[in-house]
């Protein structure tokens, strides 16, 4: 089984908390976790969980750019408001 990438964007810390809870559920053998501003290689993962905060009803700009790059991946989205 391939590792999951959990990547999140957080302003107040709420999305970070949810990302960390997801990571804890997987454990370090099953997933890696990064903030959106960290360096990570999308090619290393087939399964990606993306967490973000809403701004004007949409993901923030950094997450929007990341989502454009996700091709041929299994993606799960989670958001905070």
- For the chain, give the mean pLDDT: 93
> Would the pLDDT of 2 be above 90?
no
**pLDDT for 38-56, tens place per residue?**
999 999 999 999 999 988 8
CATH code of 26's domain: 3.40.50.360
**Which pLDDT score is estimated for 1?**
58
**pLDDT for 52-75, tens place per residue?**
998 888 899 999 999 999 999 999
Mean pLDDT of 5-31: 94
> Would the pLDDT of 27 be above 90?
no
The count of domains in the chain is 1
Residue 24 lies in a domain: yes
Residue 67 lies in a domain: no
Q: How many CB atoms lie within 10 A of CB 5?
A: 21
d(CA 10, CA 62): 11
């Amino acid at each position: 089984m391939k590792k999951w990438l959990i990547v999140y964007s957080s302003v107040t810390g709420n999305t970070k908390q949810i990302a960390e809870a997801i990571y804890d559920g997987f454990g370090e053998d099953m997933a890696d976790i990064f903030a959106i501003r960290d360096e990570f290689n999308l090619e290393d993962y087939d399964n990606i969980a993306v967490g973000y905060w809403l701004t004007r009803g949409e993901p923030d700009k950094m997450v929007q750019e990341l989502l454009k790059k996700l091709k041929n991946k299994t993606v799960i989205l989670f958001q905070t408001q």
